[in-house]
Amino acid sequence: MNIKCNLKELINGLNVVSVATNTRTTMPILEGVLIEAYQDKLKLTTNNLELGCEHVLDCNIIKEGKTVVDIRMLNEIIRKIEDEIVEIIVEDNLFTLKSVNGIFKLTTMDANEYPKLPIFNVESTIELEQRVFKDMIKRTIFCVSNDENRPIYNGALVKVDDNILTIVAVDGFRLALRKNLSEKNINNFKAIIPGKVLNELLKILSDNEDSYVKIGVNKNQALFQIGQSVIISRIIEGEFLNYNSIIPENYETKVKVKTKNLLDSFERVALFAKENKEKDKKSPVKMQVGIDGIVLSCVSDTGDAKEVITSIVEGKDIEIGFNPRYVIEALKAIDDTEISIEFTTNISPVLIKPTINNDYIYVVLPIKLRQ
């Protein structure tokens, strides 16, 4: 194999496919990237047996061929080169990368032994702007559970129903839901996508307008086509929570408040929350809702804090406790200027949502306050 290619495009391609490499494996070949040169194209492929990725870029091919090299070492080398064009030569089981001032050689692995990506027969697809899908992931991913004893919640539900794409994540203490209406008619489908995959997609998806992602789903796999990149992921098997049953429909108390004001206050008061490192929890921040608006307070060995936040209150007074992290993460995910918070009792799920847009809701369980 002998090719010449643009260094920036090679770096970008390796960045994309690095998401599917496996550095903790008993199969050394999975620590490598499959490099294939054909028809003026360079295809990079990685596969960790749960997630596979391909990226194609243009190149000048002098001689076609394929090989596998350690992706970590290749990444380290090309990041220290400043040339515009680099040359790659593979012969006698040796990978050589030439720049203007240097020659770098790596041992190769047998390309024929590299596990091929599965053949993907798409049953249902949807196409939408990358920035929209990225926003949907950002607003829900923090609610994906890390509890390996409940693998069904280690992913987020991605589903289409009546042309509405919805992403839902649950961890047992809270729920985040973001939806987007498609202008095109699309088939209904649903799949539970691993949270790790969604986190990797966040690194690749663009914020630019007119850049699209195509999502395809079959019985046990999901495909994401982003420009010249393709990511294929396994789907988590099982039945997702009937999340509609835990979203409150009625309320006894409703508050309207500026998102930033509440976030800033929560972050300040939460500084006094005593952390229990063994249970990864903090002492609750108390929220009192009444005629004065919202009053946040926290008392600990460090000291105590109390803040009043101007808000519009409708309904009964209520006193309730929260894990501050659960509220702070939700408020950071909301771009809207104003939110509403709906309460029923001080031990019932609490609903947080923007006052104008109806495309995002967040549900959080309170913490019982000590008398």
Report domain extents, the chain: 2-113, 124-243, 247-364
Query: What angle do helix axes 130-138 and 195-204 make, rounded to 10 degrees?
Result: 140
Indicate the range of 111-125, 157-171, 357-371 predicted with least confidence.
111-125
Q: What pLDDT is stored for residue 50 in this prediction?
A: 86
pLDDT grade for 271, boundaries at 50, 70 and 90? very high
User: Is residue 216 within 8 Å of 187, Cβ to Cβ?
Assistant: no
Indicate the range of 22-36, 57-71, 346-360 predicted with least confidence.
22-36
% of the chain at pLDDT higher than 70: 97
pLDDT grade for 361, boundaries at 50, 70 and 90? very high
User: Is residue 302 within 8 Å of 222, Cβ to Cβ?
Assistant: no
Q: What's the pLDDT tens digit per position in 69-88?
A: 999 999 999 999 989 999 99
% of the chain at pLDDT higher than 90: 76
pLDDT grade for 209, boundaries at 50, 70 and 90? confident
The continuous run of DSSP H or E covering 35 comes out as strand 32-38
DSSP-derived letter for residue 288 is E
Q: Is the pLDDT of residue 276 over 70?
A: no
The continuous run of DSSP H or E covering 350 comes out as strand 350-354
Q: What pLDDT is stored for residue 357 in this prediction?
A: 85
Tokens of 273: 């929350």
369 C-beta neighbours (distance < 10 Å), count: 14
Q: What's the pLDDT tens digit per position in 290-329?
A: 988 999 999 888 889 999 999 999 999 999 999 999 999 9
| Residue (of 366, 359, 345) closest to 177 by Cα position | 359
pLDDT grade for 371, boundaries at 50, 70 and 90? low
Q: What pLDDT is stored for residue 91 in this prediction?
A: 93
Q: What pLDDT is stored for residue 23 in this prediction?
A: 65
Query: Stretch 353-366: mean pLDDT, rounded?
Result: 94
- Average pLDDT over all residues of the chain: 92
Q: What pLDDT is stored for residue 277 in this prediction?
A: 44
Sign of CA dihedral 238, 333, 279, 282: negative
User: Do 2-113 and 247-364 share a fold?
Assistant: yes
Q: Is the pLDDT of residue 280 over 70?
A: no
Query: 319: number of CA atoms within 13 Å, CB side?
Result: 6
Q: What pLDDT is stored for residue 279 in this prediction?
A: 45
| Residue (of 213, 160, 162) closest to 191 by Cα position | 160
pLDDT grade for 123, boundaries at 50, 70 and 90? confident
User: Is residue 321 within 8 Å of 285, Cβ to Cβ?
Assistant: yes
| Residue (of 9, 189, 2) closest to 89 by Cα position | 2
CATH number of 2-113: 3.10.150.10
DSSP-derived letter for residue 368 is P
**Does domain 124-243 match CATH 3.20.20.140?**
no
Residue 263, Ramachandran bin (φ over 0: left; ψ between -120 and 50: alpha; else beta): alpha
Q: What pLDDT is stored for residue 337 in this prediction?
A: 96
Question: Exposed, middle or buried by CB within 10 Å (0-12, 13-18, 19+), for 93?
Answer: exposed
Query: Quick check: helix, strand or coil at residue 216?
Result: strand
User: Is residue 31 within 8 Å of 43, Cβ to Cβ?
Assistant: no
CATH number of 247-364: 3.10.150.10
Q: What pLDDT is stored for residue 47 in this prediction?
A: 93
